[in-house]
Amino acid sequence: MITLCIPTFNRSGFVSRLLTYYSQTKYPYKIVVLDSSTQHHLETNAETIQAFKGHLEINHHALPGLSCSATLDYIRPSISTPYCASVSDDDFLTTGGLLQCMTFLENNTDYTAAHGVGSIFALDRSGPYGEMIVLKRYPQSVLEAKRGYERLGQYLKPPGPYAIFFSLFRTEAWRAAFRGISTLAGINSSNVFKDELIPGCVSAIRGRVKEIPVLSLVRQGHDARYHQPDPYDWITHANWFPSFQMYRDRMLEELTGMDGLARDEAEQFIKQFFARHLASKFAGSLREDGVPRRRRADSRIRRFVRGIPFLKRTWFRWEAMIRGSGSGISLKALLKTSSPYHEEFMPVYRVVTKTARQAGGAGRPSAQDLATVNR
């Protein structure tokens, strides 16, 4: 019923952790590991996957040199299940969350994708294992509009776009999102159009996306995560305009085909929504005098606290608790049996923290790890 795609690059420790989770939660459907790693990690992943063959329906595809998006384009034609999802090697789509999303889609044919509540955590050290020290809600896209161009506007509306690809998709829509993405792989290895805007916007046009009341996503914030480039660096890159042209042409194809809009009308919507998105990106990184907004936001007290490791960790815990207090998503809340998300959270918590407890001792959290969660 479901194919779960796991792209990975040189993070064999995270692959082992994720497969351990799916084995322990008895995930019942197909898994494909799309492996762009260099030789050492490629071989380690192959050994790990072989060890799980008796517990999981899993296949390993060695794809050295391909970008994450290109690996998804590669596997796209061979997916035969009705539903499909993708998850990074360092994150978790919960087994129960996927099953509940599938049930929702089977009973609601007017939706193309569904996800549950999302969260993001940081550990007390770098790497796949450690003690969780902070967790908060991670927002995802919810798209309820009837028309494709309206959903495109919803998706790109500031402060978005929020994540959409931690959802479970009907396979036809998922395939459409990544069609032809590999042709952009050579333009820029960290191409925002390839990695986010084209597949995300196609998905928004293709159908409605629902959030249901189950914990379906547990992300890890750490210093090896991919971050988008600065907006100025992005648009001044030599390959920005060729990438934009491919984005514009694909949006025209989708809006004229799916919504039946005239080409001129579709182009006006693309221009309006993209210009607003671009303006928001710049407004989010700079203020009028050219000083980054994050510097303006930091008070003297915050800068002082962040300069002292012990106080910094206490500050981040407090900040995450305050930010998550109204959503029921915090480490303290999810560890309680009374939380509606406790049952889905605990298998993730155990697989992440068990090895750290066995090893003993306390690690040192990366400042970037903590900042990623509390940004």
Evaluate if residue 321 carries a pLDDT over 60. no
Res 281: pLDDT:
84
Evaluate if residue 302 carries a pLDDT over 70. no
Average pLDDT over residues 136-165: 95
Domain 1-375: give its CATH superfamily: Spore Coat Polysaccharide Biosynthesis Protein SpsA; Chain A (3.90.550.10)
Rounded percentage of the chain residues whose pLDDT exceeds 90: 67
Evaluate if residue 357 carries a pLDDT over 60. no
- 68-82, 177-191, 295-309: which has the minimum mean pLDDT? 295-309
Evaluate if residue 21 carries a pLDDT over 60. yes
- 179-193, 233-247, 291-305: which has the minimum mean pLDDT? 291-305
Q: Give the confidence band of 8 by pLDDT, cuts at 50, 70, 90.
A: very high
Average pLDDT over residues 303-316: 52
Domain boundaries, the chain: 1-375
Higher pLDDT, residue 373 or 65 = 65
Res 236: pLDDT:
87
- Per-residue HEC secondary structure of the chain comes to CEEEEEEECCCHHHHHHHHHHHHHCCCCCEEEEEECCCHHHHHHHHHHHHHCCCCCEEEEEECCCCCHHHHHHHHHHHCCCCEEEECCCCCEECHHHHHHHHHHHHHCCCCCEEEEEEEEEEECCCCCCCCEEEEEECCECCECCCCHHHHHHHHHCCCCCCECCCCEEEHHHHHHHHCCHHHHCCCCCCCHHHHHHHHHHHHHHHCCEEEEEEEEEEEECCCCCCCCCCHHHHHCCCCHHHHHHHHHHHHHHHHHHHCCCCHHHHHHHHHHHHHHHHHHHHHHHECCCCCEHHHHHCCHHHHHHHCCHHHHHHHHHHHHHHHHCCCCCCHHHHCCCCCCCHHHHHHHHHHHHHHHHHHCCCCCCCHHHHHHHHC
What's the whole-model pTM score? 0.85
